[in-house]
Structure 1
């Protein structure tokens, strides 16, 4: 009696190659983070190499074409001096992103110092830092930034410092809470019980776990800092014209808002786009980190 062995048919689509194919990879990537990454990449290119995105001069004046609406020749229209608004938005990404990155970096640096000192220090130091943060929380971020810029004058540097100082208390409170939570966790107490030195426990357990949320917070903070800096510029406390910084473009265009709506809408859309894209990426990274922890 002969037996017939049936070999199961394999589906090529279920093999390893199908799982790693570009089509499958694209289906696995969520749409919102992919679009957000593309938007962020566009503005990064605009900040680093704007000549790749436009061939025009952002400061070239052409009074004959002043206040032209958006069209084929000028996708974003022209301003009151005939300058191409798309080109100015592209070139303005450098200063706007510089302010966002610089202010967020300054705020995180101050927050790490205050948060770690408060979380690891004694009751006296924790009380002093906590009361100081509560006092700063009593003042709105924009009010603190306006006060600083008014004293030291408008410039990119003062905007970075002003927004950084204004947003630092929120980050400091978050870091303090993270440090306290990790400090009293079970694995830190177990490390102490095993005889590890205080510095070893801090370096290997407390700092890495307490600072992990900063990866997502930084991306969220960049968009917020750009919005705050643009608000300062819109109030006349930003960089001086003819700078193409987005807040400065909004400030210059408000005088013509009834005649040329694009002078406000186009720079405003750029601010909204980078803020939403950075926030979306921040939430995506935060979810990935929370999933990795669980």
Structure 2
């Protein structure tokens, strides 16, 4: 009971701090909120001192940010979130209406994600149900990696143009009913389902290798029943990340909502942030925080219902004691292709303009074609690779370190993960810009602030299960201390899958930077950063598809490389007796009860 009260107070404190920080946003960024509001109301009106003074008097800005925050918080107790500074309408009905649209979109995206994850794991489920799965196989397929590496705004643009406009199968613009949810739901659900499917596919071989699977097969249970139980066995480790996806699909779908003209909560929050409409921004953020708390609570409850007795009795076999995977040449193949593309374009000038060569298709002179200004796309992709890959790799490495360290302290990191994940990346970029100022490092800081959260949630979930493993109980009974358990049992079991997860998210980190560039908050022209290339050429996707496909294909290649390389991530075995133990390890599926 005391731990629950402490966690609730910790969550409430973080929520209050975040909402207060948003309330101070105009003053932190040293901008005049009256001027911003006036521009949002009427861009053509002359901002004379008299007009600005009238706006300040109307909004009560002269009273100061703390007074405004107090008034807004006081109205919440009566269900009144104030009135919009831009339109003058009541905030509560507008935010609830936007939440309804986002929840409907989220449901469609989750359905698409579930189908995609099932397709990614189909081969593993089929082989595992027949007990023909080799636990040493390198996990993952290039198809799922490329699907996960597709930017959501690019997928949305292609679906809207091809399926909605050219083929006319589904509506591509507006928000008037269930048919309008299909295309945006696919745009959000396909990449999310590919990531979740890869994480599940990484755990399934160990689940099928456990003794219960062979016993079930010996008793005559069908392969479908065995596969269903294997999925249930692996779900608790994935539920925290699934809860993070729920909030991310609601608050982070800004680009998709803009493309399909959906009045969702992410788009509403972004528009309020850009216009410094603080009542709407604070109410939208508060709703996202509440949604994060509800989704996290539901994920924890579902995990307890699935394996609660085994956690309590410390009777779980471990999912992460597999043999090293068989060597694979796929990382060398994908890495070689990526290096070849970069090396081929480095001698070229990425800034050279040739208006006579605008939007030229691929040729011997321009293997990737040219963009709207006649610049060589191969040169821009190659030179942008250095910035994109180095920046994304640095952010991913830092996120892995922070995620593992905070994941080892679940009581501290749990509420922090929920709060951080509830902040849309665009809003995070605006907050970082307000505090740290603009500059080339702002997008990296904005992405890095939230990139560690899924890794910390994954670490905590795996740690919770590993602490209930049978071999750990036996090791404690033999007198092992906490330090020995952490170094020799917990970290070797938890770090490899989390490191593979971080590698899987490497293209996603590059895509987060790309999304900021697409919304005008990332790299700026004439930088050849990959996200900016996609944003610049997206309006020409129908006329010159190669201008978008070239950077998208390189991003997909990066995703395939990340998945192929992640299959070989393992911690090295210890020396001495532990090395001998490793050499004499029992085959997969047998329990290790002592060390």
CA contact (8 A) 2:506 2:559 kept: yes
Whether 1:225 aligns to 2:520 is no
Alpha-carbon shift at residue 196 of structure 1 (Å): 3.0
Give the secondary structure class of the aligned counterpart of 1:69: coil
Whether 1:205 aligns to 2:497 is no
**Deviations 1:72-120, CA, capped at 9 Å, x for gaps:** 21111122333211111112111111232122112212211211122xx
Q: TM-score, normalised by structure 1?
A: 0.72
Structure 2 counterpart of 1:174, from 458, 473, 480: 458
Aligned structure 1 segments of 4 or more residues deviating by more than 6 angstroms = 28-31
Rounded Cα–Cα distance in structure 2 between residues aligned with 1:107 and 1:293: 32
Structure 2 counterpart of 1:274, from 558, 570, 586: 558
Q: TM-score, normalised by structure 2?
A: 0.38
Please name the residue that 1:192 is paired with. 476
CA contact (8 A) 2:388 2:529 kept: yes
Alpha-carbon shift at residue 202 of structure 1 (Å): 1.6
Rounded Cα–Cα distance in structure 1 between residues aligned with 2:454 and 2:366: 42
Please name the residue that 1:160 is paired with. 444
Rounded Cα–Cα distance in structure 2 between residues aligned with 1:108 and 1:51: 29
Rounded Cα–Cα distance in structure 1 between residues aligned with 2:558 and 2:377: 17
Q: How does 1:20-169 map to 2 (within 5 A)?
A: 32=142, 34-35=329-330, 37-44=332-339, 50-51=342-343, 54-118=346-410, 126=411, 128-140=412-424, 142-148=425-431, 150-151=433-434, 152=436, 155-169=439-453
In structure 2, the CA distance between the partners of 1:143 and 1:235, relative to structure 1 (3 Å rule), is closer
- Structure with more relative contact order (C-alpha pairs < 8 Å, separation 6 or more): 1
Q: CA RMSD in A?
A: 3.2
CA contact (8 A) 1:133 1:173 kept: yes
Please name the residue that 2:518 is paired with. 234
CA contact (8 A) 1:54 1:87 kept: yes
List gaps (5 residues or longer) in structure 1.
Answer: 1-27, 119-125
- How many residues align structurally? 251
Rounded Cα–Cα distance in structure 2 between residues aligned with 1:154 and 1:276: 33
CA contact (8 A) 1:154 1:240 kept: no
CA contact (8 A) 1:227 1:275 kept: no
Give the secondary structure class of the aligned counterpart of 2:409: helix
Please identify, of 143-152 and 224-233, the stretch whose mean Cα deviation from structure 2 is larger: 143-152
CA contact (8 A) 2:406 2:456 kept: yes
